[in-house]
Chains A and B, each alone.
Chain A
Amino acid sequence: MAEQPVDVLIIGAGASGAAVAWSLADTRMHIVCLEQGDWMNPAEYPSSGRDWESRAFGDMAISPNRRGRPTDYPVNDSNSPIAVANFNAVGGSTILYAGHFPRFHPSDFRVASLDGVGDDWPLDYETLEPFYAEDDRMTGVSGLSGDPAYPAKQSVLPPVPLGKSGDKLARGFNDLGWHWWPSDTAVATALHDGRDQCINLGACTSGCAQGAKASTDITYWPHAMRAGVEVRTRCRVREIAVNDDGMASGVWYYDADGEERFQAAEVVVMACNGVGTPRILLNSTSEQFPDGLANSSGLVGKNLMFHPYASIQGIFEEELDGFRGPGVCIWSKEFYETDESRGFVRGFTYEINRGRGPVATAMTGMMSGRIPWGAEHHRAYRDLFCRITGMVAICEDLPEEHNRVTLDPELTDIHGIPAPKIDYTLSDNSRRMLDFAVERASEVLRAAGATDIISESPIAAGGWHLMGTARMGKDPAKSVVNEWGRSHDVKNLFVVDGSIFVTSAGVNPTRTIQALALYIADQIKKRLANLFD
C-alpha cells in the first residue's frame, strides 16, 4: 500500500533523528519519521521496581540479542571481541545511554595532519561550535565552565555532585598532578525545559524514571512534534527505493501489523545509527546500485569504530556512594593528546563512574572469586558493598576498513530483513592504549587509597558507540557522504547518525552526533532552493 508523498522522511527516532527533525521543522515542510520501536513509558522503567538491577539482564538489557524485544533486530557480533549495545524506540539508544556528554576536542577533527593516522574531517571544531551550543540548550547540559582541556564553553546547568566517589578519586588525580574536571553530562541537575532534576537514582543505563536524563523522547521530540513533525512507531524500514534518475523515491517498510507499505518522499534522511544505517543501505540494492545504495566508494559498512573501553575499579576500605548518583561524575583528559613515548598514537578519556548496586556488587565479587561460597560470603560481600569505585577509559578507535558491518547471509529479524553482521578486531594501537590506560588508572586508584583493583579490558559488552560506516568527506572515492551529510551518489539522500564519523575521538559520541545532525539540517535549510545540485 502506498502513502501520500512527504517532503522529508527520517528513518530512526534516536539521538540524531530527533535533532534533525526538530531543526528541519521550522521549514514547515511535511516531515515524517519512521521508527521501528515504541514510545517508552518512564513510569515503567526498572528504577520504579524492586527488580531494577535484574531487568538490566532482561527486557532492558543493553544487548539487543539478550533483550530480544519484537522491536529489536538481532546482530551477529560473534566475530567481534566487543558486542553491540543499542536500544530501539523513540529516543533510540539515548533511552539507555549514561549521559556522558563530552564534545570532541579541536584536534579530533585533524588527526591525519597532526598525527599522521586516520583522516582529517571535512569540517572543524569552530564550524560545529554553534551547533554544539544549540544542542547543549536542547539537552540541558550540566557541567562546570573553565575546563582547561577545552576551548571556552558555557554549561547550561550546574555540574552533577562529586559525591564520596568523585571526591576520593579527585584527590587521587591531584596526588599525581593529573587533570580532572566535573564531567559535562546530559543529566539535568535543575529543572530544565519541563524536565525534573536528577534525584540520584543511579539507574541511568536502564532508563531514567525521573526524566532528568536527556533521552530524545523527552527533549527534542516533544518540540519537533509540536512544530508538526509526525512520528510513526513500529514501522521498520526494509530498503530505500530509487527512481530512474537514481534519486531516492521513498522507502519500503513494515507497519505495526506487519503489512508491507511504501512511503514516497522527496528527501530521505538516514538516522538508524552506525550499524542500522549501513544495514539498510546495503539492503537497498537495485540495477543501478547493485552493491547497495550510496556505495560507489565501496565504503558503506566499512571503518566501523566502537571505542575500545577498559574498566578499572578500586576497592576501598571506607564506605563510598555505591550505586547512588548518576553514573556520570568527573573525567580526566590527562592522556587525551598524542604522546608517542607512550607507545601508541592518539589517546583516551577517563570517566569516573561511581559504584555499583547490591546485585552488581555480588556478581562482581562472586565471579572474580573475591566473595567465596559459604559462611564467609556475608563478610566478604560487606567488604565490597559501597566500597567499589573507579573509572572507564574510552580509547580512540582508528578507522580500519576490515572492521565492518555486512549483511548476515542467514540471520534475519522477524520481518525477514537480513541482520547486520559485525567483523571487528582490536588494533595493536588500541591494545597498547588499553594496557597503558589500565596501568595509569591503577596508579590513580592506589593514590586514592584503593586496596585492590578489578579490571576488564576491553569491556566485552561495551559496543555502545557505533561510528564510521558511512563516513563523510569531500572525495566521493573515499567517503559515502559529503561534508554536509548528503550522499555523493544519491542527491536526495542524507545520513545524520554516527555512521558519518571520519574518526572516533576518545570521547562519547552523542553530543557530536547531534551537533552534526543540527549542522546538516542547517545546511539543508540554507540550500533548499538548490538542494539537489
Chain B
Amino acid sequence: MSQESMIATDNPLDADQESALAAIVGAMIPASDEYSVPSAADPTIFADILTLVKRHPEPVIEALEALEALANSRHSTGFNALDDEAKAATLETFRQSATPHLRAIVSMTAQCYYRDDRVMASLGMEPRPPFPKGFEVEQGDLSLLDPVRARGRIWREA
C-alpha cells in the first residue's frame, strides 16, 4: 500500500481548529534566527503536518477539543479569540496537562519539522533520503578487543 492511498481526501479540521493547531506547533517549535530555522507553523511545514493529521485525525481532534475546553473554562471564550498573552498561558497549561492526545501532535510535528530542507541544512545534513547514497561509518579499532581476548573463554559447558 502506498502512503498516498492512506491519505483521506477531506480535511478533518475546520478553520478554527487549523488555526489552533498552528498556534500549538508554533509554540512548540518557534523560528530561530540564531539557527536559521523556520517555525513548525511555517506554511510548508504546516501543510506537511496537515497531511499527517488527515491520516490519523482522531487524537489531534481530541487534543484540540481539550484545548478549546480549557480556554472556555479559563476565559469563557474559544482559544482563537484570546489575546496573545492569554493564548500563551493557556498553551502552557495545556502542555503541562500532558494529555495523551498531545503526544500525537508532538509526533506529527517532529516527523514533518525534521525533514524540512531548511532544518536539515541547519543541522549540517544534506537534504536527501538515506538511499541510494548511504553514509560513512568509521570501521573502529578492533585492538580494543585485546582485554576481552586476554580474559579468555566465558561460555558455559552444557
Contact = CB atoms under 8 A, between A and B. Distances in A.
B partners with A: yes
Interface of A: 44-45, 47-55, 57-59, 69-70, 105-110, 113-114, 124-125, 144, 146, 148-151, 161-164, 166-167, 170-171, 173-174, 177, 179-182, 199-203, 209-210, 321, 324-325, 333, 336-337, 357-359, 361-363, 366-367, 373-375, 377-378, 382, 385
Given A325-B137, A358-B115, A373-B95, A52 B130 contact: yes
B15 interface: no
Contact of B137 (A52, A144, A163, A359): A163
Contacts of B127: 50
A199 B133 CA distance: 8
17 contacts: A47-B129, A51-B115, A105-B155, A109-B158, A148-B149, A148-B154, A151-B155, A162-B138, A163-B137, A167-B144, A174-B148, A179-B148, A201-B135, A333-B155, A362-B110, A363-B110, A378-B29
A48 B158 contact: no
Given A105-B156, A107-B155, A202-B130, 16 more contacts: A47-B131, A54-B111, A58-B6, A107-B157, A107-B158, A110-B158, A148-B154, A161-B140, A170-B140, A177-B147, A210-B132, A337-B154, A362-B110, A373-B29, A377-B29, A378-B32
B6 A59 contact: yes
A106 to B, nearest CB: 4
Given A162-B140, A201-B131, A359 B111 contact: yes
Given A161-B139, A378-B34, A58 B110 contact: no
A191 to B, nearest CB: 15
B138 A167 contact: yes
A70 B1 contact: yes
B129 A57 contact: no
A209 B132 contact: yes
A508 to B, nearest CB: 17
A202 to B, nearest CB: 6
Nearest to A171: B144
Interface string B44-60: 00000000100100000
B10 interface: no
B106 A363 contact: yes
B35 A149 contact: no
Contacts of B123: 358, 382, 385
A55 B91 CA distance: 29
B30 interface: yes
B85 interface: no
Interface in B80-126: 91, 95, 103, 106-107, 110-115, 119-120, 123, 125
Contacts of A363: 106-107, 110
A326 to B, nearest CB: 9
Interface of B: 1-3, 6, 27-30, 32, 34-35, 37, 52, 55, 91, 95, 103, 106-107, 110-115, 119-120, 123, 125, 127-142, 144-145, 147-149, 151-158
Contact of A373 (B28, B114, B115): B28
A210 B131 contact: yes
Contacts of A51: 3, 111, 115
A201 B134 contact: yes
B47 to A, nearest CB: 14
Given A162-B139, A170-B144, A325-B135, A50 B129 contact: yes
A244 to B, nearest CB: 43
Contacts of A50: 115, 127-129
B2 to A, nearest CB: 8
A210 B52 CA distance: 27
B153 to A, nearest CB: 5
Nearest to A178: B148
A57 B1 CA distance: 14
A256 B27 CA distance: 48
A174 B153 contact: no
A114 B107 CA distance: 47
B110 A337 contact: no
5 shortest interchain CB distances as A-B pairs: A162-B140, A199-B134, A362-B110, A358-B114, A324-B135
Nearest to A319: B124
B131 A209 contact: yes
Nearest to A360: B110
A358 B153 contact: no
Contacts of A45: 131
Contacts of A336: 154
Given A70-B1, A150-B155, A200 B134 contact: yes
Contacts of A125: 158
Contact of A375 (B30, B103, B111, B154): B30
A167 B141 contact: yes
B69 to A, nearest CB: 20
A96 to B, nearest CB: 15
Contacts of B91: 373
A86 B151 CA distance: 39
B115 A333 contact: no
